[in-house]
Amino acid sequence: MQDCKVNILGTEYQILTQSEYENPKLRECNGLCEQYSKKIILNDFQAQKDDVMCVENPDEFMKKVLRHEIFHAFFGESGLRSCSEFAENEELVDWLAIMSPKIFRIFQELNIL
């Protein structure tokens, strides 16, 4: 994923890909949404590339991770992040990340976007 910027509810976020060496927080996760520095940071997975348990299609996995972090950013920018039970619920956020392409495909098919 090439570094870029995206506008989330009127706030610009940088989307970056970093190594675990560059950003040690990535040793604990696949991606981060840094709400106060307005960055979404993806793990470049170079540290895991030789791990036999590494995902087989890292590009598709990174897309899912990016969708997940974007949902965190939407929740954060809408004021729901720290004081809501669902905005920090990783299961719900991951469900949104996994299901949103399927939902959007139906919206496109029905021309309701």
Question: Which positions touch Zn ion (CB under 5 A)?
Answer: 90, 93
Helix (H, G, I), strand (E, B) or coil at 78: coil
Q: Which of 39, 105, 90, 56 has the alpha carbon at shortest distance from 18? A: 39
Report the residue number, 1 or 92, with the smaller CB distance to Zn ion.
92
Report the residue number, 89 or 108, with the smaller CB distance to Zn ion.
89
Report the residue number, 73 or 110, with the smaller CB distance to Zn ion.
73
Least Å distance between CB 20 and Zn ion? 17
Give the C-alpha separation, 9 to 22, whole Å: 28
Q: How far is CA 70 from the centre of its chain?
A: 5
Least Å distance between CB 111 and Zn ion? 32
